[in-house]
Amino acid sequence: MMTPVLLSATLLLLLLPGAPATNSNQTPIKILVANSLANAPNQTYSTSLAFRGILLGGMRRLQDSNQGFSFYYTEDPNYGPFLVCVNGQCGCTAGRTYWELLVIKENNELIRPDVGIGCYIPCANETIILNYNSY
């Protein structure tokens, strides 16, 4: 039997903003893989992530469930996950290429998040664009 203090602490954790979801609330998103440097067709995938979950979690879920989507990232000690490859196409410092993160919000506004895949929290029905580009 739970003591009143332990029960109160448990309820408080469930009510705190940002507390881990305890139910199956999922946020549906689309991931569009584009290549601005080649005349290749875009690839669009549907996935979901936990309520207030990070983009990286949705990308992992998609990779685990869809053999047509793969990605690789490195971990920067100062800035976190850095997207390196998507579907076999890798960015290259020598070639001055990289994977750009863009988002089409539900109102069709295109934004460039100021955070990466490890910190961006998508909203329902957003389209996440992973765009291969050069600098």
Local structure of residue 135 (DSSP, 8 states):
-
- pLDDT value at 4 more than 70: no
Name the band, by pLDDT with cuts 50, 70 and 90, for residue 77. Answer: very high
For residues 111-124, average pLDDT: 96
User: What local confidence, expressed as pLDDT, does residue 39 receive?
Assistant: 87
Q: Is 16 a domain residue?
A: no
Q: Is 90 a domain residue?
A: yes
Q: How many domains is the chain built from?
A: 1
Q: The dihedral of CA 79, 30, 105, 129: what is its sign? A: positive
Which domain range does residue 48 map to? Answer: 25-134
Q: Is 13 a domain residue?
A: no
For the chain, the average pLDDT equals 87
The CATH number that applies at residue 87 is 2.170.130.30
Q: Is 7 a domain residue?
A: no
- pLDDT value at 127 more than 90: yes
What SS3 string covers 43-109?
A: EEEEEEEECCCCHHHHHHHHHHHCCCCCEEEEEECCCEEEEEEECCEECECCCCEEEEEEEECCCCC
Name the band, by pLDDT with cuts 50, 70 and 90, for residue 70. Answer: very high
Identify whether the C-beta of residue 120 lies closer than 8 Å to the C-beta of residue 101.
yes
